[in-house]
Amino acid sequence: MKLAILSREPKLYSTTRLVEAAEQRGYQAVVVDHLHCNLVLEKGKPGIIYEGQKLEGFDAIIPRIGASVTFYGCAVVRQFEMMKVRTAVESQAIVRSRDKLRSMQILSRAGVGMPKTAFTNYSDEVPEMIQQVGGAPVIIKLLEGTQGLGVVLAESAKAAQSVIEAFHNLKARIIVQEFIAESKGADLRAFVVNGEVVGAMKRQGKEGEFRSNLHRGGSGTLVKLSRAEKAAALLAAKALGLGIAGVDMLQSQRGPLVLEVNSSPGLEGIEKATGLDIAGKIIEYTAEIAQKKKVKKATTKPQSSEVLPDSQPD
């Protein structure tokens, strides 16, 4: 079996672990920098040129698409999908998860617990918006922020109004969320693969820091999730259509509250905290969906023509 790992950095921990896990299981794994892929479109013959060669013969891909290159990365994933190559994470699911507002609308519709969240396009409605999420203190987030960047804790209504107005003047899109004081600067990361929580850790922010991201100096430790926390993580991943997901949750007095669902969760923190072979779980899942394609292809009668869908509905 031949797998492509779409990653810009072949030496990153997550990328090297996926290659290692694939080779341990007897599969060929090739790292492909999706930003160096040229997409060729013609009637019935979509193709990808990489380093002067046409990419062919892959059974499945594992996208590791960074937030800053979501548009082009998803275009590459979509091209593979058009070429009938299976993907561990579908292009539309990545797009859903990267849009914070859209993803929270989908999670809300699915009945997933989350902090009260507000979004507006008008600065003169800021006081009402702050009250709608329970009043100060509040969390203000850039919709395009990642790894804890673009997240501000406003201790007072006056501070919140100043920050929100400043972001609006910069034409930056933001959401405002209630502050969950009882979480005490910690959150839970549940790693979901193929409808199963395969690992979980508690991330604690460093002293004086309300953000628990490991990139911001937080630490991760093994944790056993409650039944409600597992159910929330699985429902969130399913609602967004993600076969692989890192679901971030806060522990609150009213149960687990989902903050964000990551479609390309890092492996280093979760593997070191849990001691588990999470990369192996991802490879096994990818091989499984690739194998299903082979079985389906072998049992499907040949057709004279085939229509490629131009979109995938939510």
Grade residue 307 by pLDDT with cuts at 50, 70 and 90: very low
Six-digit token string for 83: 């070429």
User: What tens digit of pLDDT does each residue of 33-71 get?
Assistant: 999 999 999 988 999 999 999 999 999 999 999 988 999
pLDDT at 16 over 90: yes
CA geometry: angle 108, 111, 117, nearest 5 deg: 30
What global pTM score does this model have?
0.86
- Does an H or E element contain 4, and which? strand 2-6
pLDDT confidence of residue 80: 98
| pLDDT above 50 (res 306) | no
Q: Which domains are seen in the chain, by residue range? A: 2-89 (3.40.50.20), 96-113+182-263 (3.30.470.20), 117-179 (3.30.1490.20)
Q: What angle do CA 141, 143, 145 make, to 5 degrees?
A: 75
Q: Dihedral sign, CA of 36, 40, 45, 49?
A: negative
Written as one string, the DSSP assignment of 135-200 is SSSEEEEETT--TTTTEEEE-SHHHHHHHHHHHHHTT--EEEEE--GGGTTEEEEEEEETTEEEEE
Task: Check whether 262 has a pLDDT greater than 70.
Answer: yes
296 band by pLDDT with thresholds 50, 70 and 90: low
Which of the four pLDDT bands, split at 50, 70 and 90, describes residue 294?
A: low
Which has the minimum average pLDDT: 93-107, 166-180, 203-217, 282-296?
203-217
Task: Show the tokens assigned to 186.
Answer: 């910690």
Q: Quick one: pLDDT at residue 310?
A: 44
* Residue 138 · residue 160 · CB < 8 Å: yes
Q: Is the peptide bond before 313 cis (omega within 30 degrees of 0)?
A: no
Give the pLDDT band of residue 168 (cuts 50, 70, 90).
confident
